[in-house]
Amino acid sequence: LQDVGQGDQEKALAVALSDSLWLVGEEKATVTLVTKDYCITPHLDYKLDNFTEKLQLFTFDKKDDVRKFILDHIQCFKEEGSHGVILFLYSLICSRTLDRLRDDLDSNTSHLLHLSLGNFVCHQALLSLLLTGRASPQLFNGTLDSSEDGLERRLQGILSRGDVGYLYWSREQMDRGLLPK
């Protein structure tokens, strides 16, 4: 790994980012970058954060074009202070589209991140979005109709297998004795 040069590392990062965006966008991708100028005119009830209003969207219909664009702008994702993670998160959301994200999520999950003790923690749906291309909030396969408290709820699980898998461990489930022995 030490023999891998900076150029190869940047190419690998560009490939990984573009592949993820292409997967969630279902053969389209949108990349968000920060510009110096404001890209929107804020409304009266909009609170400026000096970041969101400077985002510019770049949409692609060819996977190679996405990869080349990201490689050409790789410093926006990797340099310290560049906000690369949040730019990639915006790119994921814009590539997936809000309508498809709403379809992916179930009635119990409406956020991809939540604030916990001053830090943002990602929900299962965001991990699923990265690994499978859909923001499935549950770990089981398919959908499940559940009735809790007399209310019918449809829970969205994983609908397709991803190229990369992961193991899930929960301290809370272990402490409550909910894990199989």
Instruction: Tell me, rounded to whole angstroms, the distance of Cα 68 from its chain centroid.
Output: 20
| Spatial distance between the Cα atoms of 125 and 111, rounded to a whole number of angstroms | 8
At residue 179 the predicted structure's pLDDT band, cuts being 50, 70 and 90, is low
Q: What is the pLDDT of residues 111-154, one digit of tens each?
A: 888 888 888 888 888 888 888 888 887 777 777 777 666 666 77
Q: Are 7 and 53 within one domain? A: yes
Do 147 and 153 contact (CB within 8 A), yes or no? Answer: yes
Q: Which two tokens stand for residue 106?
A: 């179930």
Based on the domain organization, do 88 and 1 belong to the same domain? yes
What is the domain range of residue 8? 1-96
The count of structural domains within the chain is 2
Q: Strands, E, within the chain: which ranges?
A: 29-34, 55-60, 113-116, 119-122, 143-148, 151-156
Same domain, 49 and 128: no
Cβ atoms of 112 and 88 within 8 Å: the answer is no
Q: Are residues 60 and 110 in the same domain?
A: no
Q: Tell me the pTM.
A: 0.80
In terms of domains, do 70 and 35 share one? Answer: yes
> pLDDT tens digits, residue range 65-75?
999 999 999 99
The answer on 101 and 89 residing in a single domain is no
Domain co-membership, 21 together with 88 = yes
Q: Answer yes or no: do 64 and 103 share one domain.
A: no
| Beta bridge pairs of residue 110 | none
Q: How confident is the model at residue 59 (pLDDT cuts 50, 70, 90)?
A: very high
Q: Cβ atoms within 10 A of the Cβ of 65, count?
A: 14
Is the distance from CB of 132 to CB of 159 less than 8 angstroms?
yes
Position 151 scores a pLDDT of 66
Listed range (22-26, 40-44, 96-100) with the worst mean pLDDT: 40-44
Residues 6+ apart with CB under 8 A from 83: 34, 51
